[in-house]
């Protein structure tokens, strides 16, 4: 079996070091920046069974996966989560739970700890109850704060994730202060990427460049103040950077996502790209999908890169950027990522940025993640 080495970094040595299991797309929240598919409700009846997920875990471990994220939707919606965590722990995975905190009772947290869960990433949208609840479309703020308290009380390493957009970017300082008081070790401010629900709401969600720079200044002040007490990540949106992100460290390099229905993907967004042959673990061995399938080989490495990427001195840093973003903004996944200032399509990103900076006569309502929020006709256009 050939080893994919050209262009791989971190060095994964051709192994899917990071495994992401999207156990379900079900979720009690209605976030307007959600990365789940627009037709998420269609997947509920297709979810893998407990035994099928266990087979995925065994197969992924056999091909070299080391770190595992249980995610969704909301993974706590699965009643078998503890059983899957225990199985993964027994196989030697370092297990992470990526959660909104809704449904994380003390009883369940203790069960997850007994099962071998190693780390929890909790999302929190703001320090202010009214804003959090409005953003996620549910009475969630108090539940999230209680989940954070329980996570720390029971000794879990915790990553606090704050998705950043226009509505909450000016609260970053407040969030750091609150997290420091709780004893959070890691906090990530991730300016959202514009796919799926976020792309639909981009004009309303995207902060201005001035807001991003001010937030970066606040982050640096807190880094100096807190020192090694807290690690603060601040992910600047590539719309403002002039260079694309090294998406997933390269297509099919170290990241493997399994969707609720068993489809294996190089990232959780890949199914937005039409014309690709997606394989399910129900039909094909996971090892074959990772190493041999046309899907994972399609944009793996560097040889496929178009110009100007192919001759770019930075191609081993960004791997040509994001294929999903290239498709969503240009209509062709093989195009240069428009986030790059050297891309012939960069004007598309510049237009979006200019639109955010321009004064609006009115604000559009945000489209919330909910069944029926997007019509079939809209998705086919």
- Annotated binding residues: 27, 31, 34
Residue in this structure with the two tokens 């202010």, named with its chain if needed: 128
Contacts of 199 (CB under 8 A, 6+ apart): 328
| Cα distance between residue 85 and residue 103, in whole Å | 16
Structural contact between residues 292 and 310, judged by C-beta atoms closer than 8 angstroms: no
- Helices 346-357 and 323-330, packing angle to 10 deg: 70
Tokens at 70, concatenated = 């249980």
Tokens 């060095």 -> residue:
11
DSSP assignment of 208-233 equals PHHHHHHHHHHHHHHHHHHGGG-EEE
Count the neighbouring beta carbons within 10 Å of the beta carbon of residue 338. Answer: 26
Question: Of the candidates 94, 134, 136, 140, which has an alpha carbon nearest to the alpha carbon of residue 117?
Answer: 94
Q: What is the DSSP letter of 102?
A: T
Mark the binding-site residues for [4Fe-4S] cluster, compressed into ranges. Answer: 27, 31, 34
Distance separating alpha carbons of residues 211 and 199, to the nearest angstrom: 19
The span from the CA of 156 to the CA of 98, in Å, is: 13
3-class SS of residue 55: helix
Measured CA to CA, the distance from residue 99 to residue 83 in angstroms comes to 17
CA 36, CA 102: separation in Å to the nearest integer? 17
Structure tokens at 146: 């209680």
Peptide bond into 329 cis (omega under 30): no
């Amino acid at each position: 079996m050939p080893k994919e080495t050209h262009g791989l970094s971190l060095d994964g040595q051709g192994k899917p070091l990071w495994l992401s299991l999207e156990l379900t797309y079900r979720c009690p929240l209605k976030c307007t920046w959600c990365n789940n598919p627009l037709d998420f409700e269609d997947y509920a009846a297709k979810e893998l069974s407990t035994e099928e997920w266990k087979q995925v875990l065994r197969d992924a471990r056999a091909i070299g996966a080391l770190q595992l994220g249980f995610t969704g939707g909301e993974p706590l919606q699965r009643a078998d989560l503890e059983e899957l965590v225990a199985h993964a722990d027994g196989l030697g995975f370092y297990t992470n739970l990526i959660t909104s905190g809704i449904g994380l009772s003390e009883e369940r947290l203790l069960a997850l700890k007994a099962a071998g869960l190693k780390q929890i990433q909790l999302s929190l949208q703001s320090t202010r109850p009214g804003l959090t609840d409005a953003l996620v479309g549910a009475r969630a703020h108090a539940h999230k704060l209680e989940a954070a308290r329980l996570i720390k009380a029971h000794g879990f390493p915790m990553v606090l994730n704050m998705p950043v957009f226009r509505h909450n970017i000016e609260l970053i300082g407040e969030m750091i202060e609150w997290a420091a008081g709780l004893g959070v070790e890691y906090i990530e401010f991730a300016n959202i990427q514009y796919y799926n629900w976020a792309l639909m709401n981009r004009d309303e969600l995207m902060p201005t460049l001035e807001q991003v720079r001010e937030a970066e200044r606040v982050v640096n002040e807190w880094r100096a103040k807190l020192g090694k007490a807290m690690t603060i990540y601040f992910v600047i949106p590539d719309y403002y950077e002039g260079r694309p992100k090294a998406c997933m460290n390269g297509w099919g390099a170290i990241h493997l996502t399994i969707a609720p229905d068993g489809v294996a993907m190089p990232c959780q967004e890949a199914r937005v790209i039409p014309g690709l042959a997606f394989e399910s673990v129900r039909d094909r061995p996971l090892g074959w999908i990772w190493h041999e399938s046309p899907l994972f080989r399609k944009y793996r490495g560097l040889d496929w890169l178009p110009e100007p990427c192919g001759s770019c001195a930075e191609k081993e840093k960004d791997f040509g950027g994001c294929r999903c973003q290239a498709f969503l903004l240009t209509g062709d996944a093989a195009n240069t990522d428009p986030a790059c200032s050297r891309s012939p399509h960069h004007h598309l990103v510049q237009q979006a940025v200019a639109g955010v900076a321009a004064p609006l006569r009115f604000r559009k309502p945000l489209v919330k993640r909910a069944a029926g929020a997007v019509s079939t006709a809209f998705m086919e256009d």
